[in-house]
Copies of this chain bind each other. A is one copy, B any other.
């Protein structure tokens, strides 16, 4: 289940893209427009900063800014970063504690295929696609 972290991150990025004036947009504005807690969003942003998804600027006149054009943002990347992966079962996670039954697990191939399906789906959608909803 996709949590608020991933969903809110997407909404912030869409908001930034739709209200893009070239300058920085303070989180206060975005939170008000989106009806979300500013403090909670401030917690989600650092991971986007560290991974060069957005550019953050402190001080008066500061805020956040996209660093690419909307077509260059892939939804799968945003969700993976903010959710910490999109794997449908724990055995496929990065902290994969290698199940000893995995060699003859009857369901593992299914989970793997579903994982690929999920990755492909979300990697096939860009921020620009989300803005013109008929593309989805």
Assess the B89–A110 pair: CB atoms within 8 A: no
Contact A121 B130, CB 8 Å, known A10-B107, A87-B1, A136-B109: no
Assess the A107–B130 pair: CB atoms within 8 A: yes
Give the dominant DSSP class at A's interface.
Answer: helix
Is A11 an interface residue, CB under 8 A from the partner? Answer: yes
Assess the B88–A2 pair: CB atoms within 8 A: yes
Assess the B107–A114 pair: CB atoms within 8 A: no
Type the 1/0 row for A102-129, where 1 means its CB is closer than 8 Å to any CB of B: 0000110111011001100110010000
Assess the A110–B88 pair: CB atoms within 8 A: no
Question: A-side interface residues toward B, CB under 8 Å?
Answer: 1-2, 7, 10-11, 14, 35, 75, 87-90, 101, 106-107, 109-111, 113-114, 117-118, 121-122, 125, 130-131, 133, 136
Given A1-B1, A113-B121, 11 additional A-B pairs, CB 8 A: A1-B90, A2-B88, A2-B89, A2-B111, A10-B107, A14-B106, A106-B130, A109-B136, A113-B136, A114-B121, A117-B117
A-B contact pairs, 14 of them (CB 8 A): A1-B87, A1-B89, A2-B88, A2-B111, A7-B89, A11-B106, A106-B131, A106-B133, A110-B130, A113-B136, A114-B118, A114-B122, A117-B117, A117-B121
